[in-house]
Amino acid sequence: MKLIQGLPVSAVALALVAVCVFGVYSYQLKRNADEAVRVSYDLSQKEQPTVQELRQRLGSALEQPDPCTTYGCGYQILLSNRVLANFHLVPYTVLRSYFWTRNGVIEENSLEFWTIGSEGSMVLSYIDLKYCERCDYFTLNPWSDTAWLRTTGSIDIGNASTAANKRVALALDTGCVTRLRGCTNIAELFPNVWYENSARAISCRIPNHEGVIIDNR
């Protein structure tokens, strides 16, 4: 009888422990995602950021998925909410920051975000940041007033673009990796760039009929 009476208390205690564990895990995952994006933004302020700077910022989280080639070396930080997704608490989501380097200098950084949408389809968005002497472009796709709700969003930006453009480009909502329903479209991931209009389609917040913002310093 005492054993039976003690079961509800044990169940409540286990539930509280589980909530705490998932809470700590979610907090750390969100924090790591914030740091990954912050590193990309901070390095974008430099003309020629180095692999050494990258290692100093990301430490052991930085991986080298493949051996170097004669053309350069690739490094990445890969974050996923697999633990939460396995318990069906959130949609499976991955955030990857990939760096391509040559001779110890970063040439390109891509931030990729993909998740499983409400209909079971893959939703992909990415930012591609290039480092070169005259890379002052900022290109959005889609840039039109209306696009399919499940469309892929892409932002191409050069490190010579303005700081304001970089802030817009790298202002993705990292809460998408831990939010209960996740982010099912690019408007939720990049709220400063796109929005979901009344017709349940994607519209660009930055008026530009050519899809390119010219930097006027």
Q: Give a yes or no: residue 59 inside a domain.
A: yes
Q: Give a yes or no: residue 124 inside a domain.
A: yes
Contact 142, 202 (CB under 8 A): yes
Q: Give a yes or no: residue 216 inside a domain.
A: no
Q: Give a yes or no: residue 210 inside a domain.
A: no
pLDDT digits over 34-84, tens only?
A: 999 999 999 999 989 999 999 999 999 999 999 999 999 999 999 999 999
CA separation, residue 203 to residues 136, 164, 199, 217 (Å): 24, 20, 10, 27
Q: Give a yes or no: residue 211 inside a domain.
A: no
Q: Give a yes or no: residue 135 inside a domain.
A: yes
Per-residue pLDDT of the chain (217 residues; tens, 9 = 90+): 444 555 566 666 555 665 676 788 999 999 999 999 999 999 999 989 999 999 999 999 999 999 999 999 999 999 999 999 998 888 999 999 999 999 999 999 999 998 876 666 677 899 999 998 888 999 999 887 777 877 889 999 999 999 999 999 999 999 999 998 888 888 999 999 999 888 888 889 886 534 444 443 3
